[in-house]
Amino acid sequence: MSEKKDSVFFGFKEFVLRGNVLDLAVAVVVGAAFTSIVNALVTGVFNPAIGALFNAGSLTDALDWEIPAFGGGTAVLKFGVAVAAIVQFMIVAVVVYFVLVMPLNRLKRIAFAKQAQEPTEEDRSPLPPSEAELLLQIRDLLAAQADKEAVPTTTGTHSVIVPSNGQRPAS
C-alpha cells in the first residue's frame, strides 16, 4: 500500500511540477489581478471619456434605446454596456499582446537562434565508422592474428602479409 501511495504522490508531484501546469497556474493568478486593474481603468477612465462623446455620464449609460413592450410601457436596450465590454476586451487583448506575447515570442526567437548556432554534441563528435569500414578492420585484425608477422593497416584497406622468407612483396 505504501508503494502505491508513493507512486500516486510521485505521479501527482510530477504532474504539478511540469512547466505547463505551473505556467497555467501563474497565468490564472496574474490574469485575475490584471483583470481588476483593467476593470478599474475602463470603468474609471475610458467609459466616462467615451460616454462624454454621447452626452452620458458613462459609456454604460450611453446608447440606451427604448422600445415599446407588449404589455404597455417600454423596455430599454443598453447598447452602451455591450460597447463597454468590447472596449474592455480590446484593452485587455492589446495589453496582453504587447506586454506578454510579443516579448515572449521575441525571447523564443532569440533562444532558438542561439540554439541553432551552437553545435550540438552530435555535431562535435566524429562519425562512427561505417559497416564496410568495420568489416575491413575486422578482416585486418583476423589476418593479423593468423600471421603474427602481418602488418595491419589502419586505413581500412588490407593487411600486408609478410611471407615466411621475411621479404615483403614489391608494390
CATH assignment at residue 104: 1.10.1200.120
- Domain residues for 159? 130-163
135 within a domain of the structure (yes/no): yes
- 112 and 150 in a single domain? The answer is no
- 142 and 106 in a single domain? The answer is no
- Please give the model's pTM, rounded to 2 decimal places: 0.46
Task: Tell me what pLDDT residue 4 has.
Answer: 59
- 14 and 94 in a single domain? The answer is yes
- 70 and 34 in a single domain? The answer is yes
- Mean per-residue pLDDT over the chain, rounded: 76
Q: Above pLDDT 90, what percent of the chain?
A: 1
Selected residue with higher pLDDT from 74 and 128:
74
Distance CA 64, CA 56 (A): 10
pLDDT range class, residue 146, cuts 50, 70, 90: confident
- 102 and 145 in a single domain? The answer is no
Burial class (CB in 10 A: 0-12, 13-18, 19+), 80: buried
In this structure, the number of other CB atoms found within 10 A of the CB of residue 132 comes to 9
Name, of 19-33, 35-49, 115-129, the range with top average pLDDT. 35-49
Residue with cell 575486422: 138
Q: Which three cell numbers stand for residue 71?
A: 404589455
- 115 and 140 in a single domain? The answer is no
SS3 state at 166: coil
- 15 and 93 in a single domain? The answer is yes
Task: Tell me what pLDDT residue 45 has.
Answer: 84
124 within a domain of the structure (yes/no): no
pLDDT at residue 6 is higher than 70 = no
pLDDT at residue 54 is higher than 70 = yes
In total, how many domains does the chain have? 2
One-letter identity of residue 55: N
98 within a domain of the structure (yes/no): yes
- 67 and 12 in a single domain? The answer is yes
171 within a domain of the structure (yes/no): no
**Maximum CA extent, the chain:** 129
Task: Tell me what pLDDT residue 20 has.
Answer: 72
Q: Which three cell numbers stand for residue 131?
A: 559497416
- 14 and 42 in a single domain? The answer is yes
